[in-house]
Structure 1
Amino acid sequence: MPAMKTPVIETLVIGAGELGQTVITGLLEQNPECTRSISVLLRPSSGSTRTDIARQLKQKGLKIVYADLATETVDGLSVLFAKFNTVICCTGFVGGSGTQRKITSAVLKAGVDRYVPWQFGVDYDVVGRGSGQPVFDEQSDVRDLLRGQSATRWIIVSTGIFTSFLFEQAFGLVDLQGAKVRALGSWDNRLTVTTSEDIGRLTASILAHKPPIQNEVVYVAGDTFSYAQLAEKMEHYFGRPVIRELWDMDRLRAEVAAHPDDGIRKYRLAFARDTGVAWDKKQTFNALQGIEVTDVMTWLKHQQSLVA
């Protein structure tokens, strides 16, 4: 009797930015032979950067499909998605309000077998609607769409914020130049952070897990700490005391009221809490599976070595 061939699982990765690239790397590390079964959706563009990305992906043996998520219809996207068994959304809110609902609706209409939505962030079930960040409300809508059907299996990967975002100057939590740490709401409030590289590896591991994980929220974490603990970490990093500044709720609400169109200020207000934005690292998928991840101090030292 001839050996039965393993069916080819066609996978679409939406987006090739920071997260998309690491997810692609994770998938290829998990199964180097799956190159020909992975496609990447890019936005049509004649720019040199986009052209370079497409060329690099093709050199890896990946296929490219093009669509503009902002202008394409649900019907149009569903026709494109119907060719794939698994769709992984690695593009966030760059397409504007409603994009994640549109992508999810198209995935469901296409009858895709398995979907990983763009939910690489906080626990939207706990945060809920009305957090002060409208894009969080849309993420709750996506969860409602997924749970309201049974044809498409889904996996949500909750990661906390990207580790790099913790040090973004615009976000304002850690000022590396000024040796300053700011707390949102309270020094006891906590954050969970994960590097994009770890998110890529862990997403691939979650997708390959046996028995298959389906219709679940899976928690991962590179590090979890309170703002007070973050300040202590930074003092250890600098080798001297840091300036500590508390941005209390009154200040955060006043800033949003004064700048209602400022997304960063809305993010600060939304993260000024201790529920839904942090979870115990010991209970995460990576900890339970014994997968090593990068904590904040290790990430910082690596960044320092890159610029040394």
Structure 2
Amino acid sequence: MTSPQTTVLLLGAGELGTAFLPHLSTLPNTHITIGIRSPPKYTHLQSANISLTAIDLSSPSPSLAKSFSAYDILISATGFGADPSSVLKLAEEALVAGKIRKEQWKGKLWFFPWQWGVDYDVIGDGQGMMPLFGAQRDVRNLLRQKAEASNVKWTVVSTGIFMSFLFEQFWGIVDRSKEEEGKVVVRCLIDWNHKVTVTDVNDIGRVLARVVAGDVEAEDRVLYIAGDTISYGQLVDIVKRVSGKQVEQEAWGLEHLKNELDSAPGDGIKKYRLVFARDGVWWEMSGTVNKALSMDMMDVETFAKSLFSR
């Protein structure tokens, strides 16, 4: 007898959501529905086992919960720009959806909240600077307290920052603005020994597919993955090796980062830099899911080589 099809609702079709699709779509007997506000803009993503549906995450309850309850797996890839209240609202809707499924004699809803980043249990709200991070921590606590009674199982996948982000000009860590002069500036947060965990978005999708396939114990827990965990000193060495440029170093210590934020208290990037100068932004590779699954991942040096060869 044929086993029932697994249905997945993927919220969001941005950089991360689209990176998930090639890997989730290869899972056997699985259909993925992408929930976005304007489906006509994303028809190019449709295939035999990928469809589109209109979902407005600002819709009042319980309309979202009713929509969510029709699926076995709910994956949030809504992006970093979410309002702090929206991530908690989404988790609450998922809990209601689980209860609806229970009333309909369906299995648990498996919920992957938007947690594709740092360790929010450790970093919290960044000492009051990052309400969104605090809301992410609150989502974890809510799920720990109420998911079981709500017919929901959950999995958080902590990825560190996206690898491409480490090299973005606006982030300021690898500054290529003087590249035509043969120079690259590499900066550190706090000191050169401070570390950061980074993962390429394609690799996040690869690991997610293995998790959904049941290749790792994932129910009601936080999983850690990493393409690489490096110190800023190691980042300097990598840029020196692959860029062929003169590399200048500049340390952004805690006092400098605080002063920068004081000069522009509303600047979100400066808030991020100060928060990333604290704990909760890196973990050892040895404790990651990808290490346990013996998966080869994109590391920083390989990514940097491709970047500087363009």
Q: Deviations over 1:51-71 (max 9, x none)?
A: 342x112245412111222x3
Q: Deviations over 1:33-86 (max 9, x none)?
A: 42xx21000113xxxxx6342x112245412111222x3123221111111111
Alpha-carbon contact 1:93-1:99 (below 8 Å) kept? no
C-alpha change, 1:304 and 1:187, in structure 2 (3 Å) is: closer
Question: Given residue 12 of structure 2, which amino acid in structure 1 is its aligned partner?
Answer: G
Write the mapping of 1:200-279 to structure 2, written as runs, cut at 5 A. 200-210=205-215, 212-273=217-278, 275-279=279-283
Alpha-carbon contact 2:239-2:304 (below 8 Å) kept? no
Check if 1:302 corresponds to 2:298: no
Give the Cα separation in 1 of the matches to 2:51 and 2:112.
19
Residue 186 (structure 1) shift: 1.6
Alpha-carbon contact 2:125-2:132 (below 8 Å) kept? no
Q: Deviations over 1:244-296 (max 9, x none)?
A: 111111121122223222111111011002x3111111221111111110001
Alpha-carbon contact 1:192-1:222 (below 8 Å) kept? yes
Show the counterpart of 2:97. 110
Write the mapping of 1:279-290 to structure 2, written as runs, cut at 5 A. 279-290=283-294
Bigger drift between 169-178 and 16-25 goes to: 169-178
Secondary structure class of the residue paired with 1:77: helix
Question: Given residue 196 of structure 1, which amino acid in structure 2 is its aligned partner?
Answer: V
Question: Given residue 55 of structure 2, which amino acid in structure 1 is its aligned partner?
Answer: A
Secondary structure class of the residue paired with 1:29: coil
Secondary structure class of the residue paired with 1:193: strand
Check if 1:137 corresponds to 2:125: no
Question: Given residue 133 of structure 2, which amino acid in structure 1 is its aligned partner?
Answer: F
Give the Cα separation in 2 of the matches to 1:146 and 1:28.
27
- TM-score when normalising by structure 1: 0.89
- TM-score when normalising by structure 2: 0.89
Q: Report the aligned-residue RMSD.
A: 1.7
Q: Structure 1 runs of 4+ off > 6 angstroms?
A: none
Secondary structure class of the residue paired with 2:24: helix
C-alpha change, 1:64 and 1:254, in structure 2 (3 Å) is: same
C-alpha change, 1:56 and 1:285, in structure 2 (3 Å) is: same
Check if 1:148 corresponds to 2:142: no
Give ranges in structure 2 of 5+ residues lacking alignment: 99-107, 179-183
Secondary structure class of the residue paired with 2:223: strand
Secondary structure class of the residue paired with 1:187: coil
Give the Cα separation in 2 of the matches to 1:95 and 1:128.
16
C-alpha change, 1:212 and 1:229, in structure 2 (3 Å) is: closer
Question: Given residue 62 of structure 1, which amino acid in structure 2 is its aligned partner?
Answer: I
Check if 1:172 corresponds to 2:172: yes
Bigger drift between 153-162 and 171-180 goes to: 171-180
Question: Given residue 75 of structure 1, which amino acid in structure 2 is its aligned partner?
Answer: P
Counterpart of 1:39 (choices 22, 33, 51) is 33
Show the counterpart of 2:123. 127
Give the Cα separation in 2 of the matches to 1:142 and 1:283.
23
Among all aligned residue pairs of Structure 1 and Structure 2, give the percentage whose two residues are the same amino acid. 38
Question: Given residue 176 of structure 1, which amino acid in structure 2 is its aligned partner?
Answer: R
Q: How many residues align structurally?
A: 292
Show the counterpart of 1:73. 60
Show the counterpart of 2:86. 99
Give the Cα separation in 2 of the matches to 1:185 and 1:289.
33
Residue 203 (structure 1) shift: 0.9
